[in-house]
A and B are shown apart, each in its own frame.
Chain A
Amino acid sequence: MKNYDLTEQSILKLPADTEIVVETKDLQVFYGTNHAMHDASLQFPRYSITALIGASGSGKSTYLRSINRMNDGIARVEGQIMYRDLNLNSKDVDVYQMRRRIGMVFQRPNPFAKSIYENIAFPLREMGIKNKQEIRATVEKSLKQAALWDEVKDDLKRSALSLSGGQQQRLCIARALAMSPDILLLDEPASALDPISSAKLELTLQELKKDYTIIIVTHSMQQASRLSDYTAFFHMGHVIEFDRTQKIFTNPTTRITEDYISGNFG
């Protein structure tokens, strides 16, 4: 493996009038004594898709899971995670409220072992919504947003586990959307899907970008370049480069990013 200078960074300065929804400042993550993420400072503009790319173990998933505090109890996270004006990495934050604003979809589809309808209705009821009509309307709306409604509308009582992998993943997106979040965190959502389901998912995300801010971890560079507006490249626990996707994939600044993108890596 080539030796790279991990301090060589190129982080794009976003124009001052850009509306930033989430920003991390000097984020550090430790698993025990293992320092897994170093000084990650990134900004995520509203209504955009940002792709996090990098090799396995580069820390991109760790970074993503830190944003909505899914690493609580697993890892120690230091630094600031600013959600608008609120530092999420503080003891005073109501984690459960916050996670409704910052939805997450995981690598492997994980619908509840309940019916399609209940998968969305149950967390809504837990949120305190009792009105049946309102719940029904939200279920329909979020299934439509996730482009699943037409495939399941006749049989909402069916077990969610009987859906195909791609459908399950879109159900998980619908479930997250039903909480009316601001931000969607996606941790390699297409990696367990076949190419057709994966393409459908990408179309869905393109649609969702109009209303949500999306941060997606992906292994597929094609997916990152097709889908995202911005790309951050992670390597060995460091953010190496952040820029517009087009810039990163045509003319990266650092040598290490260039090597990774051209497949001339390691």
Chain B
Amino acid sequence: MKAKTIDRIATGIIYALVSVVVLILLFLLGFILIKGVPHISWKFLTSPAQAFIAGGGIGDQLFNSFYLLILTLLISFPIALGAGIYLSEYAPKNWVTNLVRITIEVLSSLPSVVVGLFGFLLFVVQFKLGFSIISGAIALTFFNLPLLTRSIENSLSAVPDLQREAGLSLGLSKWKTVTRVIFPIALPGIITGIILSAGRVFGEAAALIFTAGQSAPAINYADWNPFNGTSPLNIFRPAETLAVHIWKINTEGIMPDANQVSAGASAVLVIAVLVFNLLARFIGARLYRKITAGK
């Protein structure tokens, strides 16, 4: 065959494969949105769930999802930032560093249900934290740390060495060079990494079923004292999230409108994750322009 023909066939196959990926994605998104969006209303988003009668909402689950997400990021971001800076800027090239990298790799490939069971045995049972937001947040941190660390490390490593040399040659210490020269340039990438990981955390169910629990006790939104049992801010209360809720309705939901609630909740979840992704691109690009275009 002529090179030109082969090239044409290869190009055709590649286009076909890409279309398969895009079509699957569009089909899934379309299916979930078309089935779910009609059920979304302000009442659906704000009212509590019902176990036996129709008309329940997802208000508490939605709040729990965001609250858990924020707590998880509060715990995992500082740790991941420290680890990322170490790996990118300070780690010597030796077997210890390689071991750390392999550990992170292994941690990132752990199935989330294993992370959940581990969290259950250690935090819920051993540390007697019970099914609680804090147990869930720690389990999600385990789940989130490897990828967040990796994305922060990559963002920092992508900054050219020329910038490090510029800082050092002007008498800045290594720490100053990292924090004042390298970090700002890497910031857009880091922000993008955080938001993308937020999407994953937001949609995670398996790691939470055994840690944050599957029940959503009534929450009193007028009580903002985190030490009260019914306060939304209490970190020791069980908290069913949106993703767990969807899983539960579909396995044991007995309310008459289980299908509608499930479809609506799924659509909300997908839309939230989509928004996270779009935000990541938008904020990343904007920050990059802002930082490089002078002050």
Digitize B149-171: 1 where CB-to-A-CB distance is under 8 Å, 0 elsewhere. Answer: 00000000000101101111111
In angstroms, how far is the closest chain B Cβ from the Cβ of A124? 9
Q: Is the CB of B162 within 8 A of A114?
A: no
Report which residue of B162, B165, B166 has the largest number of chain A beta carbons within 10 angstroms of its beta carbon.
B166
B residues 236-295 in Cβ contact with A at 8 Å: 291-295
**Segment at the interface with A among B60-68, B105-113, B179-187, B189-197:** B179-187
User: Which of B171, B291, B295 sits near A127, CB closer than 8 Å?
Assistant: B171
Residues of B within 8 A of A237 (CB): none
A100 contacts partner chain B, Cβ-Cβ < 8 Å = yes
Q: Is the CB of A96 within 8 A of B169?
A: no
Residues of A within 8 A of B162 (CB): 106, 108, 110
B172 contacts partner chain A, Cβ-Cβ < 8 Å = yes
Q: Is the CB of A115 within 8 A of B184?
A: no
Digitize B108-125: 1 where CB-to-A-CB distance is under 8 Å, 0 elsewhere. Answer: 000000000000000000
Q: Is the CB of A113 within 8 A of B185?
A: yes
B19 contacts partner chain A, Cβ-Cβ < 8 Å = no
A203 contacts partner chain B, Cβ-Cβ < 8 Å = no
CA separation between A100 and B170, bound complex, in Å? 6
Digitize A92-136: 1 where CB-to-B-CB distance is under 8 Å, 0 elsewhere. Answer: 000011111001101010111111101000110011000000000
User: Which of B169, B176, B185, B293 sits near A126, CB closer than 8 Å?
Assistant: B176
| Known contacts A122-B180, A123-B170, A126-B172; A161 and B165 CB within 8 A of each other | no
Q: Is the CB of B184 within 8 A of A110?
A: no
Q: Is the CB of A96 within 8 A of B171?
A: yes
Residues of B within 8 A of A118 (CB): 294-295
User: Which of B168, B172, B181, B295 sits near A70, CB closer than 8 Å?
Assistant: B168
Q: Is the CB of B165 within 8 A of A158?
A: no
In angstroms, how far is the closest chain A Cβ from the Cβ of B191? 16
Count of chain A residues with a beta carbon within 8 Å of a chain B beta carbon: 33
In angstroms, how far is the closest chain B Cβ from the Cβ of A217? 14
In angstroms, how far is the closest chain A Cβ from the Cβ of B162? 4
User: Which of A96, A98, A112 sits near B166, CB closer than 8 Å?
Assistant: A112
Q: Is the CB of A103 within 8 A of B169?
A: yes
Residues of B within 8 A of A99 (CB): 168-171
Q: Is the CB of A115 within 8 A of B172?
A: no
CA separation between A35 and B227, bound complex, in Å? 66
| Known contacts A96-B173, A126-B176; A115 and B166 CB within 8 A of each other | no
Complex: chain A residue closest to B159, CB-CB: A113
Residues of B within 8 A of A122 (CB): 180
A179 contacts partner chain B, Cβ-Cβ < 8 Å = yes
A255 contacts partner chain B, Cβ-Cβ < 8 Å = no
User: Which of B168, B176, B184, B292 sits near A161, CB closer than 8 Å?
Assistant: B292
Report which residue of B163, B293, B294 has the largest number of chain A beta carbons within 10 angstroms of its beta carbon.
B294
Q: Is the CB of A97 within 8 A of B171?
A: yes
Residues of A within 8 A of B165 (CB): 70, 104, 106, 110
In angstroms, how far is the closest chain A Cβ from the Cβ of B105? 26
Complex: chain A residue closest to B165, CB-CB: A106
Q: Is the CB of B171 within 8 A of A110?
A: no
Residues of A within 8 A of B292 (CB): 113, 159, 161
| Known contacts A110-B166, A113-B184, A172-B166; A123 and B172 CB within 8 A of each other | yes
User: Which of B163, B169, B172, B173 sits near A104, CB closer than 8 Å?
Assistant: B169
In the A-B complex, the 3 residue pairs with the smallest Cβ-Cβ separation, listed nearest first, are A115-B294, A110-B162, A100-B171
